[in-house]
Amino acid sequence: MTRTASVKKPARWADAVPAREAQFETKRRALVREAARAFGRRGFHNTSLEEIAEALGVTKPALYRYVRTKHEILYEAKTIAFDAGAEARKTAFAASEDPLEQLRLYIVNYIDLVTSELGSYAVLAEPVTSLPPELAEPIRGRMREADRALRDMVQAAMDAGSVAPGDPRLVVAFFMGAINHIARWYAPDGALTGRQIGETFAGFVLDGLRGPGWTPTKT
């Protein structure tokens, strides 16, 4: 009886590459989170890559495997925030068909996501002008995209008669200005969680949009 030798199949390249890439991105994202905390303590312009490497417990050459400049870290932090916004909108639309509830859920989920992902995220208060043009322009594109999406959400709530009519541009500027300012004072070890802050802010925003004595229009 002839025995057939068992031949071990070589690992597929297509399977191996995504695993390595995923590991790299996981480490890079962790680096961005820690760098964001460092920027929150000392400020973006006052924190060097050497200090970030020290906070991470790695050498500067090891740090260079993932980022080359502070600007890359700022860019990645802002990208994480815009990704959180997109995810919050998707979650809100999936959870409810009511435009006002969608807006409420967006605010709650966005604040919860961005605080849990970036922790002390004061770096997000750093203006886009701190980035070089090649990094600033994609971020401005994400800003315009997010602004349009939020205006549409507000307009939908107005069209449904859920809130008082007005200019959606000003409404978005009002509540996103307040939300973005959280970055200047939020602390992960503070008395309130990101979700608790989100719930409170959502209440403020919706109460403000409805106005005193506002009665929703029945449709």
Asked if pLDDT for residue 2 goes beyond 60, the answer is no
Which is more confidently placed, 122 or 160? 160
Asked if pLDDT for residue 111 goes beyond 70, the answer is yes
Quote the pLDDT of residue 112. Answer: 93
Whether 116 contacts 186, CB under 8 Å: no
User: What value does the mean pLDDT take over residues 142-169?
Assistant: 95
Quote the pLDDT of residue 7. Answer: 47
Alpha helices in the chain (DSSP H): 13-42, 49-56, 60-63, 70-95, 99-118, 133-159, 168-181, 194-210
- Spans of all domains in the chain: 71-210
The CATH fold assigned to 71-210 is Tetracycline Repressor; domain 2 (1.10.357)
Average pLDDT, rounded, for the chain: 84
Quote the pLDDT of residue 213. Answer: 57
Q: How far apart are CA 72 and CA 217, in angstroms?
A: 48
Quote the pLDDT of residue 201. Answer: 96
User: What value does the mean pLDDT take over residues 10-37?
Assistant: 69
Task: Please tell me what DSSP assigns to residue 65.
Answer: T
Quote the pLDDT of residue 219. Answer: 47
pTM over 0.75: yes
The confidence band for 154, taking pLDDT boundaries of 50, 70 and 90, is very high
Percent of all residues in the chain with a pLDDT value above 90, rounded to a whole number: 44
User: What value does the mean pLDDT take over residues 5-13?
Assistant: 47
- 70-85 confidence digits (pLDDT tens): 898 889 889 988 999 9
User: What value does the mean pLDDT take over residues 78-94?
Assistant: 94
Which is more confidently placed, 64 or 136? 136
Q: Among 61-65, 75-79, 127-131, 205-209, which is the least confidently predicted range?
A: 61-65
User: What value does the mean pLDDT take over residues 97-111?
Assistant: 96
Residues 6+ apart with CB under 8 A from 55: 34, 35, 37, 38
Q: How far apart are CA 194 and CA 204, in angstroms?
A: 15
Which is more confidently placed, 90 or 211? 90
